[in-house]
A and B are shown apart, each in its own frame.
Chain A
Amino acid sequence: NAGVIQTPRHKVTGKGQEATLWCEPISGHSAVFWYRQTIVQGLEFLTYFRNQAPIDDSGMPKERFSAQMPNQSHSTLKIQSTQPQDSAVYLCASSLAQGSYEQYFGPGTRLTVL
């Protein structure tokens, strides 16, 4: 079991450019979560998919951020027109969509917007 895979591990973009982050959940896990982690804000929930369907995107900035899960083996987080304040570690987690929802995190993608 490879665990949750996130690519790339590091991404540097210029202000105004687009960034797409990829996540491959653990095989068999039907729930996928995206979080953003910064020193100041800590771990912030962004969005949640269950069986590929978007369930809760209450943590997503309404503009510029979008997430998709086109199939059970990957999810993407897209940030359009990146801004310096988007710089953070973006974490993906997966879980079985039942019971305690124990979440297993990937290593994260560190996004730096210059």
Chain B
Amino acid sequence: QQQVRQSPQSLTVWEGETAILNCSYENSAFDYFPWYQQFPGEGPALLIAIRSVSDKKEDGGFTIFFNKREKNLSLHIKDSQPGDSATYFCAASGTGGYKVVFGSGTRLLVSP
């Protein structure tokens, strides 16, 4: 079963728009949620992460909004640029746990 779900599967936005990528999870024990960015031919790179004690995390133009009660979170990419075109993975793990469960990814295309 898929413990971490992402939507949409693919997303196209215009340059300058805010892209919103969604993620939901099932396991209440998850308390750490990293987002990874992957470009073709490269490995995933840690972009930004949030712990379940917070409901928002910002880093540059990237913001995570987290809703523990609903078990969902979203990644907002403000002022999207063509260079942000990549696949974004939502992931989750538990306290002190090493195992990270990845979602299936959202492929983002930012059109100039």
Whether A45 lies near B99 (C-beta < 8 A) is yes
Whether A105 lies near B44 (C-beta < 8 A) is yes
Chain B CB within 10 Å, residue with most, of A42, A43, A45, A95 = A43
Q: Shortest Cβ distance from B17 into chain A, in angstroms?
A: 26
Give Cα distance in the complex from A4 to B42, angstroms: 12
Using Cβ atoms and an 8 Å threshold, which residues of chain B touch A53? none
Whether B34 lies near A43 (C-beta < 8 A) is no
A43 and B89 in contact, given A4-B43, A105-B44 (Cβ under 8 angstroms): yes
Q: Shortest Cβ distance from A40 into chain B, in angstroms?
A: 10
Q: Which of B14-61 contact A (CB under 8 A)?
A: 32, 34, 36, 41-46, 49, 51
Interface check B102, CB cutoff 8 A: yes
* CB-nearest residue of chain A to B45: A105
Give Cα distance in the complex from A101 to B97, angstroms: 7
Whether B104 lies near A42 (C-beta < 8 A) is yes
Using Cβ atoms and an 8 Å threshold, which residues of chain A touch B49? 100, 102
Interface check A22, CB cutoff 8 A: no
Interface check A114, CB cutoff 8 A: no
**Listed A/B pairs (20) with beta-carbon separation below 8 Å:** A6-B43, A31-B98, A42-B102, A42-B104, A42-B105, A43-B89, A48-B99, A55-B98, A91-B43, A95-B98, A101-B93, A101-B100, A102-B46, A104-B45, A104-B46, A105-B36, A105-B44, A105-B45, A106-B43, A108-B43
Q: Using a CB–CB distance below 8 Å, which chain A residues touch chain B?
A: 4, 6, 31, 33, 42-43, 45, 48, 50, 55-56, 91, 93, 95, 97, 100-108
Q: Using a CB–CB distance below 8 Å, which chain B residues touch chain A?
A: 32, 34, 36, 41-46, 49, 51, 89, 93, 97-100, 102-105
